[in-house]
A and B are shown apart, each in its own frame.
Chain A
Amino acid sequence: MNAEIWRRLSEILDQLEDLSGPERLERARALCQGDLELALAAERHLEAEGPAGRYFDAPLESRAADLLTALAAEGEDSRDAELAGSRVGPYRLLREIGRGGMGTVVLAERADGQFEQKVALKLISRGAGTGASRERFLAERQILARLSHSGIARLLDGGLAEDGRPYFAMEYVAGQPLNDYVEAQQLDLDARLALFLQICEAVQYAHRNLVVHRDLKPSNVLVTAEGEAKLLDFGIAKLLDTDSETPSGLTSHWGPLLTPDYAAPEQLLGQAATTSTDVYALGGLLYGLLCGEKPHRLRDLSLPELERAILEQEPERPSRVLARKAAGASRALASALHRRSREVSGDLDNIVAKALRKAPEERYSSVESLLADLSRYRSGLPVLASRATWLYRSKAFARRHRKGLAVASGAVMLAFAGLASTLWQARRAVAEAERKAQVKDFVLGLFAVSDPDQAQGEKLTARELLDRGAARIEHDLAGQPELASEMLAVVAGIFKKLGLYQRAGELYQRALALAGHQLPADDLRRAELAVELADTFHFAGDLDRAEPLYQQALGVQRRKLGEEAPATARTESFLARLYFDRGDTAQAEPLLQSAFEHQRRALGPRHADTVDTENALANLAYARGRYEESERLYREVLAARRELFGETHSQVSEALLNLATARNALGDLVEAEKLYRQVLELDRKLLGPQHPELAVDLTNLSTLLIQRGELAEAEQCAREALALRVAYQGESHPQLAVYLHNLGKVLRLEGKLAEAESSSRKALELARLALGPEHENVALVELALAQTVAASGRIGEAETLLRHALGILRQRVPAGDARTAEVLLNLGRLLRESRRATEAEGLLAEAHQSLLERFGEEDLRVAEAAVELGLTRAALGQMEEARRLLETARAQLVRKAGEGSPLAREASEALSRLDA
């Protein structure tokens, strides 16, 4: 607007004075007499009148005054430094030694010459607690003065200065602030923890004396040259807070007392500070000691964002902060950071998280219990925080899904950020920095509900937020389909992460359609989206829709990027895994081989993509019975994952488990047992000692121990597994069937038939309930029960069970399945032993044949069936047939299981009877 236009507009405005609303605008338009520029200026001006009034009117009179007050007060603090030489109470000020939100700290000495004592004199800023009643101030001061602990800087004196401001004289501590000290001394983890324990002990002492610190932060902890930690300002916050009923949110005038970086949520909400508030702040201190950062990065946030961060966001785990820092560090530093990250990951992460819980009742109940858990950690005992973690996670998850926005937005935002960053990394080549910023803005905008009218009283679930976001993308970016497509893909990725495959698929399709309008059919970006969509279908088990998409994308990538490009190889690997999941190992194998070669060359053998493909290759080798090869590959995968993720990681646990299974298949029961034990130990660390998923590990170990004949320990493991699940799901959850079934098997082998039967019966009841009476797994439970019942001599009942099981399997699984063969074998044996060899013969011949086809001549199961069939044929008088079967079987059994094994002996005895 220039002065000339304004002059004319100003005159027009004067003529509108008595009008209001639409009439004003109408009249203004008329007065502009067709001058477009003037009319536009008038419209803008009239439009701005409302908002301008709201902006300037009410606070205007006081705004300049407020600002002057605040700014002048700061200026005043800086002048305190110039107070050197002047007196406060009986003290002569020497020099300023520190400054914080509450005021200035000055080194001072007694001016009356009574003692040669230097003190730290704290002059409180105006506005911080000026209304304190003198009586209460003095009473509180008495309590604080009684705190006498080597870890607490003693309060010596306090009063009101001549200008009415409160001051405190404290024991002067020559030391460095906590964080400066640990950095300067480069303390290792153990030394840091030792220092932290000292701090905890001091706080614990104060709590026992009914004093809460309320403002613990690194700058309030000084460490002396001797390495002794001293806490400053104990209870001062309380002393200054005259009226605990006053809400003390961040934005109120109590603000100066609070350091938001370490403030607990309840302090923000204006609730009373308790010992639990100090536990939270201690969690913040420990966080900084472990990873060198604050739990929340608040510096660049606006006030509402800051409040939301403290009230809702889970801080990033310290180990992850360290890993993130390592990514940007020099090589030497990076390896130190990685090591620290591994040390911190797990128990220490969990301890910090428990101290920093949003709800006070979910934190450690006292500093004592925090101390105790840390001591447990230092002496290598299981940590309570870790045990609580899964429970908390599942509770938190449930809460998130129930309550919606309040908790969900924070958590989802984190997921969003993490996911977006990996996606973007993968697309570095395509996405330029500007677009990245746009995506970020969008994501932030989506979750920061900026319009208070919109946020009021509305509760959104994470899912609704995402749906709303997707709708907004399509609406707001209607003119930029390419960008809209990219962002929809990001949102789709989150749905995928949440396991909402259907919605994820829809959005990927939409993204693909948008890209389709813009991009040629062989565009790489479209291919990439197609891969993501296919992967979503794949995850959801819809292999038929995934396959053509993979193939199409693969074609484009091969043509445009070449066979060896990482993106091509990745798609190849995905497609191969789809074939594998479909059971088509022949088609999967060459594809996996080629993907593996290309990834190894382009990305190196230790890249996560390469390792995933290698793992798939190992699975394939195992499935095709090439156990040696699978073992070798699994070992490499294990080594690579240890390097990539550190020792304590679920991916490492999975690799160990795979390797154990391969060693087991190779007959190395000793190493397999060792590995299964490692898996169990690692998962205990990862999940906590009471986690229900440990039942799977225990069951694996138990099954192996059965093979090794260690029945007593096998039973113990099976019982522990069951107990974990019962604690988790109660006595009658259908999923208990598996564990009852396994326990039943061990008990039968131990000859504890009554217990075995009751366990298996309960398993059968639950399995029928969970799966329906005709499920193939029900048949397996029936088989186990039949074995026990037969061992108890109730042959008829066993036969009924076995025939029922056989009926199910014939219906449900393809001919030649190993499970059918096992039921046939058991039924055949039962019939032969009941002198019904004619009936047995056909069943056993079928079992033998299908096992032979499936596992080859060398397999022990085949030998077992051959012995049964041989004995039956002998009973039927077919001596030649019988001899041939028994001899072959005996040779195998002797070679594989030893001459003394029960089956080998049975074969030998049968052969000698034939000879006689």
Chain B
Amino acid sequence: MTEIDPGEITQLLAALSRGDRPALDRLMELVYQDLRRRAHFKLLSSGGTLSTTALVHETYLRLAGAARPDWENRRHFFNVAACAMRQILVDYARERGAAKRGGDARRVELDSNQLAVEQQATELLEIDRALGRLASIDERLAQVVNLRFFAGLTEEETGELLQVSSRTVKRDWQKARTLLHQLLTEGASAQAG
């Protein structure tokens, strides 16, 4: 396991506020690995369900907490964390899809739990696609969804990061989910038709 140097995170965040693209990729990679590794670890030790909120917050504390970032860097970080979490889920869902289509020659009895996960995974991929389209219509709404959904932030936390009132967050959230729902059902009927 690579140890993460808090100094590197500070530098990356600084580079990020200058709009440095490679810095974003590197930060993304670090957060992604940390989140995924710890999701696995947590599962082993707790045996219960995982909380995305807790995971993201812990990652924040582990990686960036020591650097005491200002709000702008915090916003960058949580945006990155939300994207990383989204990417982890999407990757899991895709890996799952690939496994199901039988990369593995061994016979695996498909049980009901797996079926349910199957559905969730499919749904997640659909939401991911719809989110992509939402971002092209309204960038900020997509950000709100990312932070609320994938990073598990509250309305207040989201408002603080985006520098808007929590009332605006609430309003945005309502708009976003209605739009998302339209995009999702459009996708479905387009497939059926």
Contacts and interface: CB of A to CB of B under 8 A. Distances in A.
Interface in A254-298: 255-256, 258-261
Contacts of B27: none
B5 interface: no
A79 interface: yes
A98 B106 contact: yes
A299 interface: yes
B178 interface: yes
Most buried by A among B52, B55, B138, B185: B52
B179 interface: yes
Interface string A555-591: 0000000000000000000000000000000000000
A71 B45 contact: no
A177 B47 CA distance: 31
Given A57-B177, A72-B43, A256-B112, 10 more contacts: A6-B179, A45-B179, A48-B181, A55-B184, A65-B152, A67-B120, A68-B92, A73-B43, A101-B110, A303-B115
A429 interface: no
A79 B41 CA distance: 12
Q: Which 8 A-B pairs rank lowest in CB-CB distance, beginning with the nearest? A: A52-B181, A101-B111, A71-B92, A255-B113, A255-B112, A250-B112, A56-B177, A52-B178
Nearest to B182: A48
B171 interface: yes
A3 B136 contact: yes
Interface string A102-120: 0000000000000000000
A29 B180 CA distance: 22
Interface in B86-135: 88-89, 92-93, 95-96, 106-117, 120-121, 124
B111 A163 contact: no
A626 interface: no
B105 to A, nearest CB: 11
B109 A219 contact: yes
Given A14-B171, A76-B44, A101-B114, A51 B109 contact: no
A163 B115 contact: no
Contacts of A61: 152
Given A63-B120, A65-B52, A219-B107, A72 B177 contact: no
B47 A130 contact: yes
Contacts of A303: 112, 115-116
A72 B36 CA distance: 8
A126 B181 CA distance: 33
A49 B171 CA distance: 12
A3 B137 contact: yes
Interface string A51-92: 111011100111111111111111110010000000000000
A13 interface: yes
Given A64-B152, A65-B50, A71-B121, A76 B112 contact: no
A61 B145 CA distance: 11
16 contacts: A7-B138, A10-B138, A45-B179, A48-B181, A49-B174, A52-B182, A64-B85, A68-B89, A69-B50, A70-B116, A74-B92, A75-B92, A98-B106, A251-B112, A253-B113, A256-B112
B189 interface: no
A256 B93 CA distance: 19
Interface of B is mostly: helix
B44 to A, nearest CB: 5
A49 B106 CA distance: 46
Interface string A680-719: 0000000000000000000000000000000000000000
Contact of A255 (B52, B109, B111): B111
B175 A13 contact: yes
B58 to A, nearest CB: 14
Contact of A45 (B115, B152, B182): B182
B112 A260 contact: yes
A60 B149 contact: yes
A1 interface: yes
A164 interface: yes
Interface in B154-193: 171, 174-175, 177-182, 184-185
A372 to B, nearest CB: 30
Nearest to B42: A72
| Size class of the contact patch on chain A | 35 or more
B109 A69 contact: no
B150 interface: yes
Contacts of A74: 92, 96, 117
B186 to A, nearest CB: 9
Contacts of A261: 109
B54 to A, nearest CB: 9
B121 to A, nearest CB: 7
A2 interface: yes
A77 B141 CA distance: 37
A99 B111 CA distance: 12
B152 A71 contact: no
B180 A56 contact: yes
A340 interface: no
A375 B185 CA distance: 58
Contacts of A796: none
Most buried by B among A3, A53, A75: A75
A1 B40 CA distance: 40
A69 B48 CA distance: 8
A6 B183 CA distance: 13
Contacts of B116: 70, 251, 255, 303
Most buried by B among A13, A69, A219: A69
B87 to A, nearest CB: 12
B2 interface: no
Contacts of B120: 63, 66-67, 70
Given A1-B137, A63-B120, A255-B116, A75 B40 contact: yes
A65 B89 contact: no
Contacts of A48: 178, 181-182, 185
A68 B55 CA distance: 11
A258 B107 CA distance: 16
Interface string A127-169: 1001000000000000000000000000000000001100000
A10 B175 contact: yes
A217 B109 contact: yes
B66 interface: no
A729 to B, nearest CB: 46
B106 A99 contact: yes
Interface in A2-48: 2-3, 6-7, 10, 13-14, 17, 44-45, 48
A44 B51 contact: no
A7 B45 CA distance: 47
A258 to B, nearest CB: 6
B44 A49 contact: no
A452 B118 CA distance: 22
Contact of B92 (A13, A51, A72, A251): A72
B92 to A, nearest CB: 4
Contacts of B52: 64-65, 68
Contacts of B51: 65
Contacts of A1: 137, 179, 182
Contacts of B180: 52, 56
A259 B109 contact: yes
Contact of B47 (A6, A44, A71, A164): A164
Contacts of A219: 107, 109
A100 interface: yes
A76 B174 CA distance: 36
Nearest to A61: B152
Contacts of A251: 112, 116
Given A65-B49, A72-B92, A52 B108 contact: no
B142 to A, nearest CB: 12
Contacts of B47: 126, 130, 164
B39 interface: yes
B149 A79 contact: no
Contacts of A13: 171, 175
Contacts of A65: 49-53, 152
Most buried by B among A17, A56, A251, A261: A56
A72 B39 contact: yes
